Amino acid sequence: MVNNKKITFLVLLVLLLFVVSCSDKNSIAMPVSQESQKASDQTDQILKVKQDLEKAKEELQTKNTELEKKLAEIKDGSNKDYSSVIEQAKPSVVTVTTELGTGSGFFINEELLGRSGGDDFVITNYHVVKEMAEPNYIFYKDQKPIGKSVILQDSSGEKRIGVIFATGNDNLDLAIILKSNLLMSEATGELIERQKAYRSLDLIDKAKPGEEVIAIGSPRGLTNTATKGIISAIRPGDIQDFAGITLIQTDASVNPGNSGGPLLNLQGKVVGVNVAIYGDQSAGLNFAIKSSELLKFLDLVKSGELEKLKQEEIKENIFDKEKGDDDCEKLGCIAGTQFVGSNNSDVYHVCSSSYVSRIKPENLICFPTEESAVDNGYRPSER
């Protein structure tokens, strides 16, 4: 019995020691478990911060992309702010008035002509000044302008005298006018010498279909008129009457009087020079000479090549006296007393070899009297 009690006591003692031992182990293990949990929590927090940073980075990239897109739209003019383009360009656009009608024009940088004397040059179409100037010619000699005068009216209404400086031809339908410092008095019509500087328009030879454009000019004499449209197509020399000349086709509305005015992109740069309307004016078939062609023309003038071309043209058309040829007689006209007209013009001239030699004989018509010329719809030449 005593032994049984001892055994029971020993068992209880062992159980007590075991319980105490387990209790000690748990008390030691708890701090380690808490540290592990703390470390795990910190890891989760770091991962969350990292995820938040990545999300913020993505949002920032999206906003930057949107901002860059908006800046690009502003830069290329896609912000649709037509009014600012028009207002900035208008002071650089003029109405060109000749003895026979009106057209439009715009100022260019004189450096494009290799000059730096502070001169103001205006671009227009050759057909605007055609009846006042020969084709393919520079009307400047001994540092003096020798061309005929036109009137340049700016956007403020001031009228100044301009002088024809250089011309293209019926195919390359461009001309240059040199603005003088002579201002026409609105009250008396007298000429007053008064300087005024004009801002030139920049040229750009890049244009593509679908690009929005603005035409500015003086249709039917209505100054400061602006219309908008798109570039419908680029025509690389495939339009009749402009063989080999790259044109821009546009649906921007133009009318008689717009000729010579600028066709602008939405950055306010000149992509073309308005030149022709095809068909009904409501058809939207309007054309401008691409700026790349204008730049070539300016290079011809700048380099002196235009003068060389003119001299070659004159040599080709020199009347061969030794063979007894007479250009007027070829047409059945008598030089000095009868008259000739061209089938691509509506004016007549006194028949002379110097005039006939400049035009292909098949394009000329002989009139025995002035009355017969008038009866056929011709009028006297101003030249």
Within a 10 A sphere around the Cβ of 217, how many other Cβ atoms?
30
Mark whether 127 is an active-site residue: yes
Tell me how far CA of residue 241 lies from CA of 104, 170, 278, 291, in angstroms: 21, 8, 11, 18
Those residues with Cβ within 8 angstroms of residue 333's Cβ, 6 or more apart along the chain or in another chain? 339, 340, 351, 366, 367, 368
CB 352 within 8 A of CB 337: no
Of 232, 259, 291, 353, the active-site residue reads 259
Contacts with 232 (C-beta within 8 Å, 6 or more apart), sequence order: 209, 249, 250, 251, 284
HEC readout, 150-167: EEEECCCCCEEEEEEEEE
Question: Residue 2 region, left (φ>0) first, then alpha (ψ -120 to 50), else beta?
Answer: alpha
φ/ψ (deg, to 5) at 314: -65, -40
Give the pairing type, strands 347-350 and 379-380: parallel
Residue in the structure block whose two tokens are 């949107």:
66
**3-class SS at 270?**
strand
C-alpha R_g of the chain: 41
Whole-number Cα distances in Å, 231 to 219, 257, 311:
20, 20, 38
Rounded Cα distance between 181 and 193, Å, is 5
DSSP alpha helix (H) spans, the chain? 2-76, 82-89, 126-129, 291-303, 305-316, 327-330, 353-356, 370-375
Neighbours of 326 (CB within 10 A): 17
Q: Which residue's entry shows tokens 């790349």?
A: 292
Sign of CA dihedral 208, 209, 213, 216: positive
- Tell me the C-alpha distance between 224 and 156, whole Å: 9
Q: Does residue 259 carry a catalytic annotation?
A: yes
Catalytic residue (one of 92, 120, 127, 154): 127
Place of tokens 């671009």: 123
The reply to whether 349 belongs to the active site is: no
Catalytic residues: 127, 173, 259
